[in-house]
Structure 1
């Protein structure tokens, strides 16, 4: 839409076609924006749920295993991630990651060396490890959907606030110019006719 436009009928028809296309595309674009906003809200809620669950597990461990702070027992590497399987999901035209599976391996340990409560700790650590990965994937999903929402919103604004108004202005400008040209043509035609009539009358008077 940048630059000067030609003030003629061909340009007028071109602008009208553009306006029709913009008006047809805008509702679909606005619908996509609303759908993405709804999906972004879902992704945000899912992310918050994962964070809350992690906090709950950490709270359970702190409440039920206060001895962790003072027991001289090696607890490192009790669990480790051995495999992560990610898939893809198409959400309103945006591809986002989805977690399909997390394989967590428990390091073998002797019941004689470590107390009974280590079993509880291992289960909680395993669950929390899986949740941490889930949280990371949900963060990626939220970021991807947020970026798509922002881009779509920018396009909606481009169409509704720039392209469509500018095209309407162009159409109005061309119509005014063509209308002025038509009026000028009529005036010029009348003037020419008056001059011709006057010349004809003068010629007739000379002959008479």
Structure 2
């Protein structure tokens, strides 16, 4: 840390800095709280998607026990053809947004597959959609965590470093200037008394 200059101009600069820091700190803290609130919403959305995945799995296990029959070829019934991810700017945080998910059904003969395969394909498409959404929620949470960490560092920098340092500098400069002023008054009185003594002699 460089030594602060003990002058009136330096005092004015430190006062200006302190006012600036104190003006920005509340807005930074508000931003941190807003990002944390949005993160909490994202956590809830993530948990809701996880519950939907669990419910879908249970529903498939309950309604399609015939999937256990390994003689029927069920692999590659559906595949993801395209995923388009956009970007959302929320409170200065760039977040991924699912714009499009294109799922392709494999052609299969109606008479070569059992009737319940259509229900399974619908469930697989729903599961792919849910898993894509879940992956997106998790990526958004990572971005929110980074944003919270950065803004918290800034809040701490202002609150625990810059503001206390500016206040300490102001106090030091004021003490020095008042001491210098007192010393100047004392010197002028001594000089005045000396001149008076010299004129009386």
Give the secondary-structure state (helix, strand or coil) at the position aligned to 2:98. Answer: strand
Q: Deviations over 1:137-171 (max 9, x none)?
A: 11111111121111111111111111111101100
- TM-score, normalising length: structure 1: 0.93
**1:46 CA displacement:** 1.0
Alignment of 1:63-82 (within 5 A): 63-82=62-81
Once superposed, what is the RMSD of the aligned Cα atoms? 1.1
Give the secondary-structure state (helix, strand or coil) at the position aligned to 1:114. Answer: coil
- TM-score, normalising length: structure 2: 0.96
Moved more, 169-178 or 56-65: 56-65
Alignment of 1:1-208 (within 5 A): 2-202=1-201
**1:60 CA displacement:** 1.1
Structure 1 stretches of 5 or more lacking a match? 203-208
CA distance in 2, matches of 1:69, 1:179: 89
Q: Deviations over 1:42-78 (max 9, x none)?
A: 1111111111111111111111122222341111100
Deviation above 3 Å: which 4+ runs of structure 1?
A: none
**1:39 CA displacement:** 0.5
Give the secondary-structure state (helix, strand or coil) at the position aligned to 2:177. Answer: helix
Structure 2 stretches of 5 or more lacking a match? none
Count of matched residue pairs? 201
